[in-house]
């Protein structure tokens, strides 16, 4: 059984994510941390008849919230508002993530860390640099959650193909997403080329790619300025966490179906090979990975050989943007003292 801590548990993502984790059979202890409402939400969840316990912690209790945690999930930070890009979030959320990372390094140095907070492209490098400077970085244990892009790629594909022809479940092996987690760094790649050809033949490929890349804007607009993607993001975060929990709980290779996540390539088997195939020095990239015991043990790179011409162009466009996002995070982390 696994001890899980959620940092930022009272927000629009944190609350539904905490509910999903309370229902997971592999979670034994669920600890909720936030500036407010964490005690109340933990009490609320504690009434649910599952085996896990739930406990809330406030600002002064973060050490207790983290002590012994095997998995730390971070949805902390401010949400995106109308007219606000992920880059606009950076100055505020970067300070929050750096501060929380210091606490993780001190109280749960061996925990697996899942970063949901945006902008992922810049915040994961901050987690890396902060842990590295403290001598606590473990490449296989730091992951940026890009799963919502993957979920959208499935949903939006079935919207085009038609739910009578294919279920979403059947299309999950047809397409995935690599690159980063904002705008043009989000690259849908087709693992089943017949669906790519179908979109191309129907002249909807470009609109499909654009919708996957900017699906978050669709939600912000639909909510009339009252919020961003929270419920679907909570589901996406849990979808990845569940794979990690299965792997960790079973203490085996677990689910061998690779799932993309945003990781530090040079520190992982297969990472340098991926950099070479992409002809890039970019050190962080979301690519399919294998999990064992809740840790990334390999980065897949064979998929690069199967890219079609459109996908190659999208990746070429993605890389310089991604590199800029990464450098921004690293520079902030190095210059900021807490």
80 is in an annotated binding site: yes
CB 212 within 8 A of CB 200: no
DSSP H helical ranges for the chain = 14-23, 38-46, 62-66, 90-107, 120-133, 147-161, 168-171, 193-201, 205-213, 215-222, 231-250, 271-278, 309-335
163 is in an annotated binding site: no
8 is in an annotated binding site: yes
Asked whether residue 11 is marked as a ligand-binding residue, the answer is yes
Q: Cα 147 vs. chain centroid, distance in angstroms? A: 6
73 is in an annotated binding site: no
Query: Which is catalytic among the residues 26, 107, 154, 181?
Result: 181
Instruction: Please check if 85 is assigned to a binding site.
Output: no
Q: Is 134 marked within a binding site?
A: no
Q: Is 63 annotated as a binding residue?
A: no
The sign of the torsion formed by the CA atoms of 134, 135, 136, 141 equals positive
Q: How is residue 248 written in tokens?
A: 């960790």
10: annotated binding-site residue? yes
284 alpha-carbon distance from chain centroid: 13
12 is annotated as contributing to ligand binding = yes
Within 251-293, residue ranges assigned H as helices are: 271-278
- Is the separation of the CB atoms in 153 and 176 below 8 Å? yes
Q: Which 3 state secondary structure label does DSSP give 97?
A: helix
Is 34 annotated to bind ligand? yes
Beta-ladder partners of 178: 187
Residue 13 assigned as binding residue:
yes
180 known member of a binding site: no
Any binding-site annotation on 31?
no
Sign of the C-alpha dihedral computed for residues 30, 31, 32 and 38 taken in this order? positive
Radius of gyration of the chain (CA): 19
Please name the residue that has the structure tokens 């490449």.
139
Tell me if residue 210 is catalytic: no
58 is in an annotated binding site: no
| Contact of 123 with 250, CB cutoff 8 Å | no
CB 286 within 8 A of CB 177: yes
Binding residues for substrate: 80, 86, 118, 152
Binding residues for NAD(+): 8-14, 34, 93, 116-118, 233
Binding residues: 8-14, 34, 80, 86, 93, 116-118, 152, 233
> Known catalytic residues?
181
């Amino acid at each position: 059984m696994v001890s899980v801590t959620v940092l930022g548990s009272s927000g629009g993502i944190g609350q539904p994510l905490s509910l999903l984790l309370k229902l997971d059979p592999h979670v034994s202890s669920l600890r909720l941390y936030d500036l407010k409402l964490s005690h109340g939400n933990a009490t609320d969840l504690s009434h649910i008849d599952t085996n896990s316990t739930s406990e809330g912690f406030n600002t002064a209790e973060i050490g207790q919230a983290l002590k012994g945690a095997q998995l730390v999930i971070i949805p902390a930070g401010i949400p995106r508002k109308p007219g606000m890009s992920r880059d606009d979030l950076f100055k505020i959320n970067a300070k929050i993530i750096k501060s929380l990372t210091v606490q993780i390094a001190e109280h749960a140095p061996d925990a697996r860390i899942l970063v949901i907070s945006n902008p992922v492209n810049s915040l994961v490098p901050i987690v890396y640099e902060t842990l590295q400077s403290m001598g606590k970085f473990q490449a296989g244990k730091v992951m940026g959650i890009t799963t919502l892009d993957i979920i959208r790629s499935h949903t939006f594909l079935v919207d085009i193909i038609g739910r009578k022809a294919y279920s979403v479940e059947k299309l999950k092996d047809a397409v995935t997403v690599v690159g980063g987690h904002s705008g043009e760094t989000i690259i849908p790649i087709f693992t089943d080329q017949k669906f790519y050809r179908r979109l191309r033949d129907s002249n909807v490929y470009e609109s499909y790619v654009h919708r996957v890349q900017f699906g978050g804007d669709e939600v912000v607009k639909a909510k009339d300025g009252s919020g961003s993607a929270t419920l679907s993001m909570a589901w996406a975060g849990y979808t990845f966490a569940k794979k990690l929990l299965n792997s960790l709980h079973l203490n085996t290779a677990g689910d061998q179906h690779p799932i993309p996540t945003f990781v530090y390539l040079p520190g992982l088997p297969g990472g340098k090979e991926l950099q070479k195939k992409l002809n890039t020095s970019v050190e962080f990239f979301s690519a399919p990975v294998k999990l064992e015991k809740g840790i990334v043990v390999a980065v897949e790179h064979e998929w690069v050989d199967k890219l079609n011409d459109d996908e190659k162009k999208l990746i070429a466009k993605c890389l310089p943007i991604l590199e800029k996002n990464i450098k921004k995070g690293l520079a902030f982390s190095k210059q900021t003292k807490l």
